Homo-oligomer: A and B are copies of this chain.
Amino acid sequence: MRNTLAFIGTGIMGAPMAGHLLDAGFPLLVHTRTRSRADDLIRRGARWADSPAVAAAAAGVIFICVPDTPDVQAVVLGPRGILASARPGQIVVDHSTISPAATREMARRLAEKQAFLLDAPVSGGDVGARNAALSIMVGGDRAAFDQARPILEHLGRAILYCGPSGAGQLTKLVNQVLVSVTNLAVCEALTFAKKTGLDLQTTLAAVSAGAANSWQLANLAPKMIARDFTPGFMIDLMQKDLRLLMAAANESGVCLPASSLVHHLFTSAQAAGLGKSGTQALYTVIQRLAAEE
């Protein structure tokens, strides 16, 4: 039983992650809201569990990968949730990006049963999930982390212990500040370049060599120029993360002027029907402000 794992939430991220655990030879229980989304894993040897509680009853380590805070709360605290069958020494690893405060509260509830919650949000997207190349930012009990680490190494390339409960979520939010504000920098730079008549490819080549460079510039600027707005990371998901950021910043008394700005500008993208587009579609919002296109 120690070796048996459970995976709750087998969506775009969760399914390939659960698949890596199967490939590594772990007995695996799965549960997800829409059962058909677990079919492939079950064909590959996973067993279906009727609820998170059933999955947890038979597993030493339970992984969660669901969309948002209320979803994780339902999986952990709900009537047929993990907490109902939690036992001493059990480890719950939550890969969802959710509220750090809600994370700490659930960790406290599980600790009452001597079980551990590790918050372990990831970056790297569905490509990273499929290639087991995720960055995993982990908060929670250090000994529980050390125990879970060998399993996490089947899912990601960089497994980082960030600190006590919530620290993984907070680190993910730091990541999203950088990603989204740098993206806005690229949108403003290209809009200014286009409206003032510069050739965009030449400009990109000119500024990519030095202090202006970033992952966002290198990866998203070419897509903006090509008007390719297919999602690497969807605006709706970024907005969820930025809402978590705004709440956490509020609670901690941190004023984040550029992050709030980009959050509101993404709202404009959503209003224009671009919520399912990639974050690089923020470019169209800045262009519209300049009466371009």
Contact = CB atoms under 8 A, between A and B. Distances in A.
Interface stretch (A14-22, A60-68, A140-148, A185-193): A185-193
A173 B192 contact: yes
Given A174-B203, A212-B215, A290-B254, A182 B185 contact: yes
Interface stretch (A4-12, A32-40, A155-163): A155-163
Given A174-B203, A177-B185, A196-B252, A215 B219 contact: no
B192 A186 contact: no
Contacts of A102: none
A175 interface: yes
Query: How many copies of the shown chain assemble into the complex?
Result: 2
Contacts of A42: none
A261 interface: yes
Interface string A245-283: 100110011111111011001000000000000000000
A253 B167 CA distance: 43
A190 to B, nearest CB: 8
Contacts of A100: 196
Contact of A206 (B162, B189, B202): B162
B252 A195 contact: yes
A198 B253 CA distance: 15
B185 A170 contact: no
Which secondary structure dominates chain A's binding surface?
Answer: helix
Interface in A204-258: 205-207, 209-217, 219, 233, 245, 248-249, 252-258
Given A167-B198, A198-B171, A212-B175, A258 B184 contact: yes
A144 B248 CA distance: 56
A179 interface: yes
Nearest to A124: B210
A143 to B, nearest CB: 18
- Best-buried of A167, A179, A181 by chain B (most CB within 10 Å): A181
A181 B291 CA distance: 22
A199 interface: yes
Nearest to A262: B258
A287 to B, nearest CB: 9
A24 interface: no
24 contacts: A135-B206, A137-B206, A160-B206, A162-B199, A162-B202, A163-B198, A163-B199, A174-B190, A174-B193, A176-B212, A181-B184, A182-B185, A188-B259, A191-B254, A195-B252, A211-B215, A211-B219, A211-B233, A214-B217, A253-B290, A254-B290, A255-B290, A256-B286, A257-B286
